[in-house]
Structure 1
Amino acid sequence: MKKSLSILLSLIMIAATITALPFTALADETGVCGDGVTYKFYASTGELDIIGNGAMYDFDESDPAYDSLADDVHYIFIREGVTHVGNYAFDFYPNVEYISVEGTVNDIGIAAFAGCSKAEAINLDEGINSIGAGAFDECDALTLVDIPDSVTYIGQAAFKYCYLNSLYLGTGVEEIAYEAFAYCYLSELELPDSLTTIGEYAFKGNNIYEIILPSGLTSIGEGAFLECKYLVNAYYDGNAENFEALLASEYYSTFDNAALYYTEGSCGENVDYIFDLDNSRVEIYGYGDMEDYAPYTTPFGGNPRIKTVKFSDGISHIGSYAFARCAGITSVDTNEVDSVGEGAFIDCTGIKKATLHSRTKDVGAWVFYGCTSLETVDFGAYSDILPYTFWNCTSLDSITLSPAVETVYMNSFNGSNDNFTVTAYCHTNGIESEILEGTNRKWNKLHYETSAEVTPATFTKDGFKEKYCATCGDPVGVETINQIKTCALSTTTYTYNGNAKKPTVTVKDKKGKKISSENYTLSYSSGRKNVGTYTVTVKFKGDYSGTKKLSFKVNPKGTSLSKVTAGKKSFTVSWKKQSTQTTGYQLEYSTDKNFSKNCKKVTVSSNKTTKKTISKLKGGKKYYVRIRTYKTVSKTKYYSNWSSVKSATTKK
């Protein structure tokens, strides 16, 4: 498909005839390339500017007008006023490094920039509506693409064979056509809520490991995610019935072997669920029993995004194997559930605490089998500990049996650590043997411990718990609650990307032990998306008391230098426009490449400006230049990171 742009040179004759002539690369050139559109080629810099008002001509793949100009173009700028980039206009320009298309362009034509194999960066401004078939096909040096929010359609093979490390799909994209991003080696992909159509093989052969399919989808073409060998989990924002209506073919010919999870559905005759993807939370609601599942048939099994499960009032039974292999779940609370089915939480390796309430009297075998992080179990009214219930719970150092426990079956605690102990009430309620069946470990007949009074720890002093036996009232002892030492955010500085930021909080006591999030609540200030400073308020409760305010900031997204052109005792800097969440730019130049001395800064107050000339410099001197964006919020300036450095030697 190796073709070049045929430019029509306007020859002013008596008949005002327009004749198509080829480019030459010997000197600067101008000419006509559309109705009201001209080109300007700068031989010294390799820059090709398309300027004017109107549409470029469309060219033909079979047009023989290939000329030497294609080899000399390094930068292509489609300037404001141009409304259409012509079909095959710049296909297979072998040395193009940078492409910029401004927002007056309505559509980019078929194969307009296809085969520009050295193009490392493209700038697509807001205002573009459509990207044509093969527009950037085989631009295999291209690693990052930001699709503007104004784009609604991305055509067939538009970015096929681009080696993309990063892809932002704008919030207005509605259709992604056949093979649009096939074989792009994408590892991450976020689909916008506006998307309605995914064409056949649209993302075939990528490296994505999970995908969230928005609820507004109306069609998913055959093989849309075929050969995505790392794709293990797919999430659909809706139910199974709606999803099946989207597919043009069988599920496995679209997603290979990826597991599919829905955000809503049924899990019992009168029981439904909602899966909140944003908060990684499943709520089981309705009334009656959840369905009992065979292994590997549950709608939740192995879902790595589930971190919290809530059982609403009215749920009486947790289904067998319902949450098997959900490694992200950190705690279980049965609420008003009467029974828990066999293997319900088997191999949930992230569970640290299990709370079985007083109504939960029937717990099946294998329920917490392989829960290697389980540290705490509250037994409630649970009476019989069945075989393999806590098998291989290697983090379980000790348990306290409730008065209701009557039988501990063989192999219930096999695989626990060597220091594992059991504490029973001071009356054993019918348990005769002091040896756990199937083990050599003995339990201690100690007082049952409960907290009668708590003095909470603060940032300045320790707290303590006074413990008493719940049965006889004897004092058991005092437990120290170490004072709070540190309270920190996971991240204090972000770069704007259009998404709300929510850093996590880690709290540690004076001995460096992490304090559980059950002991505090978090309140985040509103917004947290745009550039600015935001607050997280940590309010302690339970064993701790006090309040701590933490702050983080969102800086603007940076930009990059396009070029630095030397002039007489001056140089001119051009850069990529970055108008989202910015006020302007700050240039810094120096004769020191490390910017440790002789540095001067220049502020450009408009975010629409993309060029600046620095004059009154020394002639014949090499200057190093870099740029960053800034945004002013409430009289405070927030800066992006500095760009990469470019240099130029001024003329005398």
Structure 2
Amino acid sequence: MKKFTASICVLICTAILLCSCSFGSGKTTAPPTVISDLYIQNGVLYNCKDQADENGAYTVPAEVSIIGERAFSNDTSIKKLVIGKNVKQIAECAFYGNETIEEIIIADGVETIGGGAFVGCKSLTQIILPSSVTVLGPYAFYHCEGLEKVKLSENLTEIYEYTFASCTKLESITIPDGVAKINTAAFFDCKNLKDVNFPSALTVLEEAAFALCSELEELDLSGTALETFDESVCVSCKKLSKVTFPETLKTIGYQAFYECYALSELNIPASVSYIGGFALSQTDWYDDLLEDYAIVGDGVLVKCNVKDPDLSGKGIKAIGSSAFWNAETGYKYSEELSKLVIPEGVTTICDYAFYGSKLDGITLPVSIERIEKFAFDNVFAEGTAEIDFTKLTNLTYIGENAFANCAALKKIELPASVTDVEKYAFFKTGAMESFIKNARETKTNDDDFWISGDGILLCCMVKDKQDSIKVPNGVKIIAGGALAGWDNTIIYQTNEGITDEYWYNAWNIDKVEKVTLPETVEKICGGAFVSATSLEEVNIPEKVSSIGDGAFMYCTNLHDITITDGVKQIGKRAFSYSGLYSIILELTGVEKIGDEVFYGCKNMAWVTFPVGVSDIGSNLLLGCTALRNVYISPKASARVYDIIGNDIYSSEMRNNISLHYYVEN
């Protein structure tokens, strides 16, 4: 394996990048030193201040092809701007915080509008984007509080993150025909938005896309090809009363309609197989479900109104989120339900399905494939409940906290089919605490690892003063929380007085400086090493294909790590709040880098993004206050504002960062 060490360097690179791309001949951008109120160089308008006529009008000179970053940010004289056909690009933050500009006329010719281009232009009342515009960057019109009318280019294919968020006077919007995806919080907090026309091409509505749109009364998505209605899309849209979905819809995410109190008309197509936690809670539609078994979509049980339920013979394929949840707005008989048989044919136990209920026994069918997050959290806290996991031969996924705090579960042996165990899935179960206690009492190292299923490391017992861990050969999966350290929100200065076996062990893991993983490891699940604050050294074996959400979060002493070229995915916040300043990702086939991967890495100063990555998340470098150089494909230029992080890009820290756009040889 190649090894490279640099004192301040983050490399996310590929073999392709090294052999076919050059940074030296690429475009480098950094805010220049402004030497005059009107500063144009090589076709780039870097600064324009006090150039407007007596009426506040100004026309961009014909020689300008790019309006540069913050070019008009400091101009308090301008009210009307004409951008001619020679301008091809409006850069990131070009008009950031300009509160005087009221009107912008954009001629056909502009192709790209960068992220944050018009953030905070509070006096801007309308915008018409010509058909030449193919890319409208994230946060482009964020917080344009006076914006009332918008006409979008018909050649847009995507509405990026926060593009029109907090445009509080915007009342209507027509999404162009070619748009397939509306990204996170695109229309978040558009308080007066009442009318949205959706295109037939639309397949995805991402998280919080229309959250807090308090005047929105109806969403007609029937003419779209929508498949994913993500979490919190319409959270707290308190006047929303009617939603019509197309027959293509597959998933409704967590809290999708939470606190949409007026929602009374809702069709859930037969194609829907998953409904996330609290997706329909606190809506009139949900409250009015009075039938014994409310089954919607493709066999999703969303509500049960029977004291002694019999779920057999009803075509149920998923136990819906919160269906038997112990809460005032949940299953009203949860305190009395002691045993339940889940029938064959059920493939999914959705998140929070039985959260906090008083079950002391449950029978799960062989057909079960997924048990989602918090599904049985704090359910089997007492008694002698048993679940024979070995019979669940189709089970592949166990979510975060799925069986957490189930002290009555004394035995857990997973089937070989399981490939993903997320953070704290078996946290403080009887089986985990027994393992730690028994391992602590032995004198050999052979019993220090709880390995289940087909090589899944569920937990590691660490002895007092132990500073290194060598995971045994044959382990394929590092489960979430398997090597999690001490939770610093719990106030203890020493381990004296810690009687809880789990937390005593976590205290010891927190002192471990080195972890050696065997070459058999293929996956590192979400939260695997979370809060291992003394960890300085860990290897990523060649076979590892994915690093889960928050896998190394809060590993504050982890300054250097080498990632091999087999990694295909890096999850959300995988390294956030870590001490990283040197990282090598030899990624020849990476497909996805999640949101906020390096969030809060205050030592991070140099980042190179790979050529072949097809999905780069948002705010990857949020809070990386030492950031100095970013190397990235020019194809990502319109999203660079969002990729780096709006807090950095829109602040004085941007002056310290050089952007390098590589070119192919």
Q: Tell me the TM-score normalised to structure 1 length.
A: 0.45
Structure whose residues are more often helix by fraction = 2
- Asked which structure has the greater RCO (Cα within 8 Å, sep 6+), the reply is 2
Normalized against structure 2, the TM-score is what? 0.44
Higher radius of gyration, 1 or 2: 1
Q: Which has the higher strand share?
A: 1
